Structure 1
Amino acid sequence: MLNRLIDQLNSMGNDFIDALPYFAIALFIILVTAIAAKFTVKIADGLIGKTDLRPSLRNLIETIVKLGTWILGLMIAAIVLFPDLTPSSLIAGLGIGAVAIGFAFQDIFENFLAGVLIMIREKMRIGDVIECEGIVGKVEHITLRETHIRKLSGEVTVVPNSILFKNPVEILTDKDQRRHDVVIGVSYDTDLDEAAEVIRKSVSAVEEVDTEKGVDIFAQEFNSSSVDFLVRWWSGSTPRSGWESKDKVVRAIKRGLDDAGIEIPFPYITHTFKERVPMGEQPGENA
């Protein structure tokens, strides 16, 4: 029994010594692969730099090139280390392993695939302000797994790519301008044509408003104490541009209506009673 154990240990030792050159070659291949991966990325970056590809798509191509170089290098190292392996058997084994890993890490691969598709599609560039599932902010970084969105209050939200891919995404800055609106009420005794003209001139005088796209004034609703106008105009697409233009538009409309003597009424409440309400007797009336 002892002699058999010693023979097995000697055989394992001899096999290990015989395999040392293969280990050394495999290690050398891995080192060469690491160097080659850096060079291939630089070459890809140089070629991409001559094109107009978006930064997110450039990152995707560089990642694919680097990943492909490593996969090729590791496959060659594995074949050198295990001579019985053939490229076909190794690829088949990788396929089976990928399926097993895919089931085990389904969410990770879902985000990975969503990240690839997000980088490929034309819309939602880095720097865009978007809104998705209650998250509003500027896209700062897109990776293969997640997207970093800087909220308007300054915090960064790390969003899994699958959320941005499977849900509707509203891109607020897809164009340089977008339409904004505000509701203005005037009293019932107001000449609506005159009020609409005053509002139009007031809004058109605001510098941030694009008058070439027009200013819309719609008498919209009979409210409880006013007739409401829906006022629409075009201005910058970023949230701050919208807030600034709305501030100036509201100020201009208020000033214009005041100068024209047109009332912006407070809510009026009229109480009616089914029966006559008795008035109380005045003190000293029956004295």
Structure 2
Amino acid sequence: MLTLLLTWGLAYVVSTFGTRLLARWQKRDSVKELIVRLLSIITWVFGLLLTAIILFPGLTPAKALGGLGLVSIAVGLAFKDIFENFFAGILILWRFPFERGDYIECEGLVGKVERVMVRMSYIRETNGELTVVPNSFLFKNPVTVLTNKASRRVMITTGVAYDVDIKEAVQVIETAVKSCHTLTDDKPVQVFPKAFGSSSIDIEIAWWTESTPLGVRRSTGEVITALKAALDKAGIEIPFPYRTLTFKEALPLKQIDS
């Protein structure tokens, strides 16, 4: 019992002082956290081995390590998913580019990384819900780090009527977008006619803004509002869908007496 208490105390000391010593190290926080956890695990393993040797005097370190190997195989087979998530968590903490506070997207899950544990990660979705994700899920599937950079590009498409001067429309749109305050100043605004739509000339608009989901939504709303006001002021029509109906035979007209 005393050995276990000493092991617990030593693991606490290793964790506390390890965190303080690594705080000055110019590495990612996830790497520092991983090293501290591995040191704590090693401390507990040696502490449990020492306790077993004390409790069973005939047990030598070689026998203890051999027995530990057999137990590890049995436990590994019984708890395959748990160990899979454990090793996936180690690889995520060591190699993956996202940190606590980043926004990520993975298989339809979009949210802020609140904590990366060894076996699971806590993702706060944009609607406020907390999702606990097994690390193997993040390791096996493509993960998009939305906030890997301070800004990212946003694209929308608008349309103008076919009788509008396209060059004039592009100039009006570009001026309107550049007047918005949520744009990243050192990134370009790009406006290009894209395609012949069913009832309009489609124009693609791209700009850069804050990379968080809220920043993108805020900037998109400002740009759309500015575009509508600028096109209305210039007398440029944003057309509704037009449909031309052609009948095989002429439709009979019937006069209604008033």
TM over 0.5: yes
- In the alignment, does 2:168 pair up with 1:194? yes
Which structure has more helix as a fraction of its residues? 1
**Matched residue, 2:228:** 254
- In the alignment, does 2:79 pair up with 1:109? no
- State the Cα distance separating 1:215 from its structure 2 match: 1.2
**Matched residue, 1:6:** none
Based on CA coordinates, which of the two structures has the bigger radius of gyration? 1
Contact in 2 for aligned 1:204/1:211 (Cα 8 Å): no
Within 5 Å, give how 1:127-206 maps onto structure 2.
Answer: 127-206=101-180
Contact in 2 for aligned 1:129/1:171 (Cα 8 Å): yes
**Matched residue, 2:13:** 39
Equivalent of residue 38 in structure 2, options 54, 59, 64: 64
- State the Cα distance separating 1:43 from its structure 2 match: 2.5
- State the Cα distance separating 1:122 from its structure 2 match: 4.3
SS at the partner of 1:213?
coil
SS at the partner of 1:66?
helix
- State the Cα distance separating 1:256 from its structure 2 match: 1.2
How high is the TM-score relative to the length of structure 2?
0.95
SS at the partner of 1:131?
strand
The total of aligned residue pairs comes to: 258
**Matched residue, 2:60:** 86
Instruction: Give RMSD over aligned pairs.
Output: 1.5
Gaps of 5+ in 1: 1-26
**Matched residue, 1:97:** 71
Equivalent of residue 226 in structure 1, options 200, 207, 210: 200
Contact in 2 for aligned 1:128/1:172 (Cα 8 Å): yes
1:29-63 deviation per Cα after TM superposition (whole angstroms, max 9, x unaligned): 22222222222222212211221333333332222
SS at the partner of 1:212?
coil
The sequence identity of aligned pairs, in percent, is: 45
Structure 2: distance between partners of 1:68 and 1:234: 47
